[in-house]
């Protein structure tokens, strides 16, 4: 009785199938119910809001409209800011990669034993310090009459004053400082897993250091690089706290505009629409990276 | 095993040192300023503990810190439990829609926190739940879950499934298998995931910012409003305390879990 | 102790048929070997008896009770895994006692029974050790002890000796058999190694591509293969092909070989047409005198003439590869004289007709 896709004998299948289904449901149900309540439903709600003309409370009436989305396409102002935010995301991710990867490599491959453990701890410890205070501490360092100015004057007498506050570079600096541990961490995990034997084999075959780096180490560390990049790019695109504190006037990005809609201007529908446009663009970027992601997972 | 010439290696170590210095500049500045007499951060530093004393009377900051702690602890427990359970399901079973579920765990990481925060604010407002610490817990757990799943799944990768089969062949029920065989093995991963979840929650600003109610906020949010209004140096004091405690805790935990990898 | 019955079992993985209508009876208290190459379905069958896989058709009975809907943990079996699967977070005592502790047995009883079974496998005194502190052979014994301590109805072993080195394996073959006889438990043992199957079992079942090809006591299956596959998989065979005439086999070069029909075989020897007979390498006598036709006993022997290609020296034994009529024949003998015939030597092969078995060419 040859059948293409027969089911397991009825009674056996139903008994084990049922208990299997219960187990899977019991294990994943709570988590995904939670996610539904806190991520997916809220996103749907906000999507709905983005098509409203006003916030529906009290005696305000709201109708469905596309004007919030239209505002983005009509006003060049929003588009410039959106591009600015994405550019910030790319720049910060880039610097984190360029400066963080070598760190991860040195730590993973040239240091052993207790020192490595200790250094690893030191690198992830800032995760537990307060992000805001770290940013504020940068203001104390970067401003006129701040730590940096004093240090430079101490090294080079008569250096003069130096005020880096409220500049674009200050924002980059603050963000890179905040997010580079992510990159170091993810790259470290990937690099540490590379079998030293592979590197030795490559060198025994005559590959020079740069070749080994380009053709062996970076490809094998790619999962870490990609993971780190996503963990950095996504939050930075939507950041508003660091730009505001470090950038002042220079610190206007789409993130700060959206924040304004929700906290100051009370134009939630516009904020929602801008958020979804940003989300769509972030997903586009991720989609472009998808082939690379697929290859490493 | 030394790689390449010693000169390059030493260069690498110097670079690492510079990076560490860079990472800790603000922390040292913050700690130093917390002992500075001047309330305008005038240099040079004159030693004083007045800000620590003032901290004791700053109810707002203390309340906010306690809130942060409370939210972080609750988040850790919930996120670790839910995330570990999901990881176990992915590890043990193949089922239709598994790939989809695994994918759906990641939005909290791949969607900017700004959007998640504002969306939650919108939704909770709409259903009448409002803002506050309970709303924050909801948000923090969702944020921490992907990290928990990633860390625990990584640890599960090295777990031999035949151990579970052996236990079942000896008569153990699913619950007994999980409690006595699987969890002991993945315990280090669960610990690491818990620490991650704690860090994610304690340091979380954006979501907390949108979900904090007047008078009820967490430490990061309180600091932010403080900075915008006119910074008080007690902030430095409490931040120094926080990072001091974290360092001690981290050292303590690292006794049990080797963070740097098994080699 | 129980009797296990497998009736009409079929199993599909997608469109791949892993087991095709397999039926088998495993007698109470006997040591049964399931032998076959990889992909033959032997491990799948074992896992189905254990309860880790479920059949698409057919039923499995343990002690007359159909167990298809019974989950693993309720089947009261003991299983030894290929990689032993010792719990790394427990010492030997806790590992072995695990099955008892999940049943709520009280501590005193556990101590008593674990002690008894450790004595059985000759590991007394090691109960505080952890798995990583044990040698391969010791881990194997712990796995066996753990499986036996709960007094299961059936003992299932999935290639438990494959990870051991040769000397240890030979030693464990004897040990396992001793333990099984002492306890008297129905044992089903999966292996791809025919030597293990021959030395240890009361009964062999040969599987190939999901079919049960032949079953029976080792000696019977060995001396009376029912197919070319059985003849070649269990032990070595020289296969001679030719035409059947009057019950004898006429080979390509005209030589007439007298055979007997296999006791398990099909219609070998009855009709005319093409046929195959098998003669085991150890049954052949080799003589460097090609004209040596002296038969030492009454019955005339079969003869062939060939040339030595090469020899394989293995210490106590010697195997010759002989060139005959475009084929390679193997002769296996004990290293009695210490002399080795060089390549190119013309030789005469002879063997008893009773050692030539006609097998169905399937």
Residues near B14 by beta carbon (within 8 Å), at least 6 away in sequence? none
Residues near A118 by beta carbon (within 8 Å), at least 6 away in sequence? none
- Among positive and negative, which fits the CA dihedral C146, C147, C148, C150? positive
Of the candidates A8, A11, A19, the beta carbon closest to that of C56 is on A8
Q: Which residue has the higher pLDDT, A228 or B109?
A: A228
Say if the Cβ atoms of A131 and B41 lie within 8 Å. Answer: no
- Contact of A109 with chain B, judged by CB distance below 8 Å, is answered with yes
Q: What is the pLDDT of residue B263?
A: 30
Question: Best residue in A35, A207, A288 to probe B by mutation, most B CBs within 10 Å?
Answer: A35
Which residues of chain C lie closer than 8 angstroms to B185, CB-CB?
88-89
Which residues of chain A lie closer than 8 angstroms to C56, CB-CB?
6-9
Which residues of chain C lie closer than 8 angstroms to A16, CB-CB?
54, 69, 71
Q: Which two tokens stand for residue A35?
A: 């996610």
Q: What is the mean pLDDT of residues C20-41?
A: 93
CA distance B169 to chain C (A): 5
CA distance C213 to chain A (A): 20
Q: How many CB atoms lie within 10 A of CB A87?
A: 12
Q: Which residue has the higher pLDDT, A32 or A142?
A: A32
Q: Encode pLDDT of C109-142 as tens digits.
A: 999 999 999 999 999 999 899 999 999 889 999 9
Say if the Cβ atoms of A279 and B111 lie within 8 Å. Answer: yes
Which residues of chain C lie closer than 8 angstroms to B165, CB-CB?
52, 72, 79, 81, 85
Query: What integer best gives the mean pLDDT of chain A?
Result: 83
Q: What is the pLDDT of residue B4?
A: 56
Q: How many CB atoms lie within 10 A of CB C308?
A: 20
Of the candidates A24, A102, A110, the beta carbon closest to that of B95 is on A24
Q: Would you call A251 helix, strand, or coil by DSSP?
A: helix
- Contact of A24 with chain B, judged by CB distance below 8 Å, is answered with yes
Say if the Cβ atoms of C89 and B184 lie within 8 Å. Answer: yes
Q: List subunits contacting chain A, requiring 3 or more Cβ pairs under 8 Å.
A: B, C
Question: Best residue in A131, A136, A285 to probe B by mutation, most B CBs within 10 Å?
Answer: A136
CATH fold group of domain B59-231: MetI-like fold (1.10.3720)
Structural domain boundaries in chain B = 59-231
Of the candidates A31, A189, A279, the beta carbon closest to that of B86 is on A31
Q: What is the pLDDT of residue B262?
A: 41
Q: What is the pLDDT of residue C152?
A: 92
Q: Encode pLDDT of C55-109 as tens digits.
A: 889 999 999 899 988 888 889 999 999 989 999 888 999 999 999 998 888 999 9
Residues near B254 by beta carbon (within 8 Å), at least 6 away in sequence? A117, A121
Q: Class assignment of domain C4-223?
A: alpha beta
Q: What is the pLDDT of residue C282?
A: 93
Least confident of A7-16, A286-295, C17-26: A7-16
Q: Encode pLDDT of C300-330 as tens digits.
A: 788 888 999 999 998 889 999 999 888 899 9
Q: Which of residues 47-76 of B touch A (CB under 8 A)?
A: none
Of the candidates A137, A150, A245, the beta carbon closest to that of B43 is on A150
| Per-residue pLDDT band at A197 (split at 50, 70, 90) | confident
Please choose, from the candidates C229, C249, C214, the residue with its C-alpha nearest in 3D space to the C-alpha of residue C358. Answer: C249
- Contact of C94 with chain B, judged by CB distance below 8 Å, is answered with no
* Helix ranges, C21-91 (H): 42-50
Q: What is the pLDDT of residue C61?
A: 94
Q: Would you call C272 helix, strand, or coil by DSSP?
A: coil
- The whole-angstrom separation of Cα B150 and Cα B156 is 10
Radius of gyration of chain C (CA): 24
Q: What is the pLDDT of residue C295?
A: 56
Hey, which residues does C13 pair with through a beta bridge?
A: C16
Q: Which residue has the higher pLDDT, A263 or C265?
A: A263
| Per-residue pLDDT band at C298 (split at 50, 70, 90) | low
Looking at residue A64, the DSSP 8-state letter turns out to be B
The residue in chain B having the minimum alpha-carbon distance to the alpha carbon of residue A149 is B43
- Contact of C87 with chain B, judged by CB distance below 8 Å, is answered with yes
Q: What is the pLDDT of residue A4?
A: 35
Q: Which residue has the higher pLDDT, C44 or A156?
A: C44
Q: What is the mean pLDDT of residues A14-23?
A: 76
Say if the Cβ atoms of C78 and B173 lie within 8 Å. Answer: no
Say if the Cβ atoms of B169 and C147 lie within 8 Å. Answer: yes
Residue A14 has pLDDT above 70, yes or no: no
Q: List subunits contacting chain C, requiring 3 or more Cβ pairs under 8 Å.
A: A, B
Q: What is the pLDDT of residue C265?
A: 60
Say if the Cβ atoms of A27 and B88 lie within 8 Å. Answer: yes
Q: What is the pLDDT of residue C71?
A: 86
Q: Phi and psi dihedrals of A35, rounded to 5?
A: -60, -40
Least confident of A3-17, C90-104, C241-255: A3-17
Which residues of chain A lie closer than 8 angstroms to B16, CB-CB?
103, 106-107, 111, 119
Q: What is the pLDDT of residue C291?
A: 60
Q: Would you call C307 helix, strand, or coil by DSSP?
A: strand
User: What is the distance in angstroms between the CA of the first residue and the CA of the last residue of chain C?
Assistant: 37
User: What is the distance in angstroms between the CA of the first residue and the CA of the last residue of chain A?
Assistant: 40
How many CA atoms lie within 13 Å of C102's alpha carbon, on the beta-carbon side?
A: 26
Q: What is the pLDDT of residue C254?
A: 80
Give me the residue label for tokens 């060419």. Answer: C361
Residues near C171 by beta carbon (within 8 Å), at least 6 away in sequence? C137
Residue C264 has pLDDT above 80, yes or no: no
Which residues of chain C lie closer than 8 angstroms to A9, CB-CB?
54-59, 68
Query: What integer best gives the mean pLDDT of chain C?
Result: 88
Structural domain boundaries in chain A = 71-296
Residue A93 has pLDDT above 90, yes or no: yes
| Per-residue pLDDT band at A59 (split at 50, 70, 90) | low
| Per-residue pLDDT band at C290 (split at 50, 70, 90) | low
Say if the Cβ atoms of C72 and B165 lie within 8 Å. Answer: yes
Which residues of chain B lie closer than 8 angstroms to A125, CB-CB?
243, 246-247, 250
Any idea what the Cα angle at residue A29 is, between residues B209 and C51, rounded to 5°?
A: 150
The residue in chain A having the minimum alpha-carbon distance to the alpha carbon of residue B235 is A133
Categorise residue C216: left if φ over 0, alpha if ψ from -120 to 50, beta otherwise.
left
Residue C294 has pLDDT above 80, yes or no: no
Say if the Cβ atoms of A9 and C56 lie within 8 Å. Answer: yes
- Contact of B93 with chain A, judged by CB distance below 8 Å, is answered with yes
Say if the Cβ atoms of B30 and A134 lie within 8 Å. Answer: yes
- The whole-angstrom separation of Cα C28 and Cα C133 is 36
> Edge to edge, what strands does the sheet with C256-258 contain?
C256-258, C248-251, C238-245, C273-279, C356-359, C260-261
Question: Best residue in B4, B5, B16 to probe A by mutation, most A CBs within 10 Å?
Answer: B16
If you write DSSP's letter for every residue of C5-28 in order, what string do you get? EEEEEEEEETTEEEEEEEEEEE-T
CA distance C232 to chain A (A): 29
Q: What is the pLDDT of residue B41?
A: 61
CB B135 within 8 A of CB B211: yes
- The whole-angstrom separation of Cα C214 and Cα C221 is 7
C228-359 in CATH: which number? 2.40.50.100
Q: How many CB atoms lie within 10 A of CB C355?
A: 17
> CATH 3.40.50.300 in chain C, residues?
4-223
Q: What is the pLDDT of residue B247?
A: 79
The CA–CA distances, whole Å, from A244 to A94, A139, A252, B207, C337 equal 22, 12, 7, 17, 97
Q: Phi and psi dihedrals of C158, rounded to 5?
A: -105, 95
CA dihedral C58, C62, C65, C69 (to 10 degrees): -60
> CATH 2.40.50.100 in chain C, residues?
228-359
- The whole-angstrom separation of Cα A68 and Cα A272 is 8
The CA–CA distances, whole Å, from B86 to B98, B104, B177, B220, C225 equal 11, 12, 16, 30, 53
Say if the Cβ atoms of A235 and B112 lie within 8 Å. Answer: yes
The residue in chain C having the minimum alpha-carbon distance to the alpha carbon of residue A9 is C56
> Edge to edge, what strands does the sheet with C327-334 contain?
C285-287, C346-351, C302-313, C317-324, C327-334
Enumerate residue ranges in chain B where pLDDT < 50: 1-2, 260-263
Asked: is A71-296 a CATH 1.10.3720.10 domain? The reply is: yes
- The whole-angstrom separation of Cα B205 and Cα B148 is 19
- The whole-angstrom separation of Cα C194 and Cα C159 is 12
Please choose, from the candidates A160, A290, A137, the residue with its C-alpha nearest in 3D space to the C-alpha of residue A226. Answer: A290
- Contact of B185 with chain C, judged by CB distance below 8 Å, is answered with yes
């Amino acid at each position: 009785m040859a059948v293409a896709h027969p089911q397991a004998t009825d009674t056996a299948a139903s008994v084990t199938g049922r208990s299997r289904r219960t187990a899977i449901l019991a294990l994943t149900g709570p988590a995904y119910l939670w996610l539904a309540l806190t991520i997916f439903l809220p996103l749907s709600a906000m999507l709905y809001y983005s098509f409203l003309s006003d916030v529906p409370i009290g005696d305000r009436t709201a109708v469905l409209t596309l004007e919030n989305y239209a505002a983005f396409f009509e006003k060049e102002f929003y588009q410039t800011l959106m591009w600015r935010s994405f550019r910030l995301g790319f720049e910060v991710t880039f610097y984190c990669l360029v400066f963080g990867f070598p760190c991860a490599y040195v730590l993973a491959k040239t240091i052993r034993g207790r020192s490595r453990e200790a250094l690893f701890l030191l690198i992830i410890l800032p995760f537990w310090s307060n992000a805001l205070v770290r940013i504020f501490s940068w203001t104390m360092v970067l401003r006129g009459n701040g730590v940096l100015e004093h240090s430079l004057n101490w090294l080079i007498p008569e250096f003069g004053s130096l005020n880096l506050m409220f500049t674009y570079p200050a924002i980059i600096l603050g963000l890179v400082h905040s997010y580079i541990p992510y990159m170091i961490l993810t790259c470290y995990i990937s690099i540490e897993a590379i079998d030293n034997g592979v590197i030795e084999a490559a060198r025994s075959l005559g590959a020079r250091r740069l070749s080994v780096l380009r053709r062996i180490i970076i490809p094998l560390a790619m999962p870490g690089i990609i993971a780190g990049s996503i963990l950095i790019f996504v939050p930075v695109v939507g950041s508003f706290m660091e730009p505001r504190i470090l950038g002042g006037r220079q610190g206007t990005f789409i993130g700060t505009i959206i924040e304004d809609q929700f906290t100051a201007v009370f134009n939630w529908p516009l904020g929602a629409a801008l958020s979804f446009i940003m989300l769509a663009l972030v997903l586009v970027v991720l989609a472009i990276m998808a082939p690379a992601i697929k290859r490493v997972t | 095993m030394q790689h390449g010439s010693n000169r390059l290696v030493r260069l690498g170590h110097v670079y690492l040192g510079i990076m560490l210095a860079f990472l800790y500049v603000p922390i040292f500045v913050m700690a130093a300023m917390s002992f500075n007499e001047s309330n305008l951060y005038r240099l040079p530093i004159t030693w004083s503990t007045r800000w620590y004393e003032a901290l004791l009377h700053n109810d707002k900051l203390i309340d906010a810190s306690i809130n942060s702690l409370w939210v972080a602890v609750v988040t850790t427990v919930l996120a670790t439990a839910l995330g570990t359970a999901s990881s176990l399901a992915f590890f043990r079973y193949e089922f239709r829609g598994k790939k989809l579920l695994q994918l759906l765990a990641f939005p909290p990481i791949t969607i900017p926190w700004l959007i998640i925060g504002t969306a939650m604010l919108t939704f909770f407002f709409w259903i009448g739940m409002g803002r506050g610490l309970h709303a924050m817990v909801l948000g923090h757990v969702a944020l921490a879950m992907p990290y928990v799943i990633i860390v625990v799944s990584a640890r599960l990768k090295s777990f031999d499934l035949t151990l579970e089969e052996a236990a079942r062949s000896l008569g153990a029920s699913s619950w007994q298998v999980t409690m006595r065989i699987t969890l002991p093995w993945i315990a280090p991963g669960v610990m690491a995931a818990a620490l991650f979840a704690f860090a994610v929650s304690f340091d979380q600003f954006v979501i907390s910012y949108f979900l904090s109610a007047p008078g009820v906020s967490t430490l990061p949010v309180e600091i932010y409003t403080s900075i915008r209004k006119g910074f008080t140096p007690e902030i430095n004091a409490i931040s120094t305390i926080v990072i001091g405690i974290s360092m001690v805790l981290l050292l303590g935990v690292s006794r049990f879990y080797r963070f740097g990898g098994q080699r | 102790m129980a009797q296990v019955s497998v009736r009409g079992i079929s199993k599909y993985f997608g469109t791949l048929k892993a087991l095709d209508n397999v039926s088998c009876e495993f007698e109470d208290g006997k040591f049964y070997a399931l032998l076959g190459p990889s992909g033959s379905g032997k491990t799948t069958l074992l896992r189905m008896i254990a309860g880790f896989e479920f059949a698409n058709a057919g039923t499995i009975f343990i002690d007359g009770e159909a167990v298809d809907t019974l989950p693993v943990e309720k089947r009261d079996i003991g299983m030894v895994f290929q990689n032993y699967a010792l719990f790394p977070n427990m010492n030997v005592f806790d590992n072995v006692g695990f099955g008892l502790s999940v049943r709520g047995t009280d501590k005193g009883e556990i101590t008593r029974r674990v002690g008894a079974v450790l004595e059985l496998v000759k590991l007394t005194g090691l109960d505080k050790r952890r798995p990583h502190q044990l040698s391969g052979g010791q881990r194997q014994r712990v796995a066996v002890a753990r499986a036996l301590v709960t007094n299961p109805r059936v003992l299932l072993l999935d290639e438990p000796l494959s990870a051991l080195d040769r000397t240890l394996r030979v030693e464990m073959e004897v040990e396992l058999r001793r333990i099984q006889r002492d306890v008297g438990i129905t044992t089903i043992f999966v292996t791809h190694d025919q030597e293990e199957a021959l030395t240890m079992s009361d009964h062999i079942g040969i599987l190939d591509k999901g079919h049960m090809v032949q079953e029976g006591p080792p000696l019977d299956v060995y001396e009376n293969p029912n197919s070319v596959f059985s003849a070649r998989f269990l032990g070595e065979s020289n296969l001679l092909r030719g035409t059947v005439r009057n019950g004898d086999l006429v080979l390509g070069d005209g030589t007439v070989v007298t055979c007997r029909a296999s006791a398990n075989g099909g219609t070998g020897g009855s009709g005319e047409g093409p046929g195959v007979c098998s003669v085991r390498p150890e049954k052949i006598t080799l003589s460097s005198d090609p004209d040596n036709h002296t038969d030492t006993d009454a019955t005339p022997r079969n003869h062939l003439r060939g040339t030595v290609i090469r020899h394989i020296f293995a210490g106590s034994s010697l195997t010759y590869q002989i060139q005959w009529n475009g084929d390679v024949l193997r002769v296996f003998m004990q290293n009695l004289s210490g002399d080795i015939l060089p390549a190119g030597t013309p030789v005469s092969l002879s063997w008893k007709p009773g050692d030539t078995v006609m097998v169905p060419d399937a």
